[in-house]
Structure 1
Amino acid sequence: MATSSLEMQAIVMRLNGLRMPTSNGRCLLALAGLVAALAVSITAGAAAAPLPAAGGAVVSVSAVAQPWRDVHLSLSRAGRIEKILVHRGQTVAAGQVLAAESDRQQLVQQQVAALAARSTS
């Protein structure tokens, strides 16, 4: 006799003195979760709004912003950076190209190889 995982869960819950939630119970549970998520988003939005200073006074604050994470780059070969494709402070994704390498050295190597091929023929 094969028993489904839902039936096994019901058996375990009965052994522990618990009942499986009915469809009304599941609906109430989902509704409670939705209300809790909505309450969190409303309070987060209210907390993010700046409050005016009392009496129209000017409030001055100084701070130092620190990066979330530093990453040190190492290149697999020597060369010159031709163009930087991102700006300071910009968020980048994993695998995103950050800079373009100059192809001058590669072009010189190709020309040398072409000249060498001509001289041997």
Structure 2
Amino acid sequence: MKLVIGGAYQGKRAYAEEHDSIQKWANGEICPEEEIFSCEGMVDFHLYLRRLLQEGKEQYVREQLIPKLLQENPQVVLVTNELGYGIVPIDPFDRSWRELTGRICTELAEHADEVTRVVCGIPVVLK
């Protein structure tokens, strides 16, 4: 698994497309929930998590998503925004989403073969 992180509009997807020959991208904002287990790469992974939370699947995300992903699609490339910087959201749901996304990405980074942070189009390999 590879994880590509960074702020919004920093060139994460362009980096992933340039360095990985991915033919089947999924968009986390709109793809079917199960597509994460069959796609080669997913952009907007943070929005995928938001959708699952909005559907009341927090327990599934916390307990089952990562083990299932590691088993069924261990070579996936996940591209996600870093949400933990800036002003803390006033909305309780947004705070919960931000916290959960950070925790999930932290756990994914532990299992990832490679973690790259992209800032201003410049990749920095963290792992």
TM-score band (shorter)? under 0.3
Report the TM-score when normalising by structure 1.
Answer: 0.19
Instruction: Kindly indicate whether structure 1 or structure 2 has the higher relative contact order, using CA contacts under 8 Å at least 6 residues apart.
Output: 2
Report the TM-score when normalising by structure 2.
Answer: 0.18
Q: Which has the higher strand share?
A: 2
Structure ID, larger Rg: 1
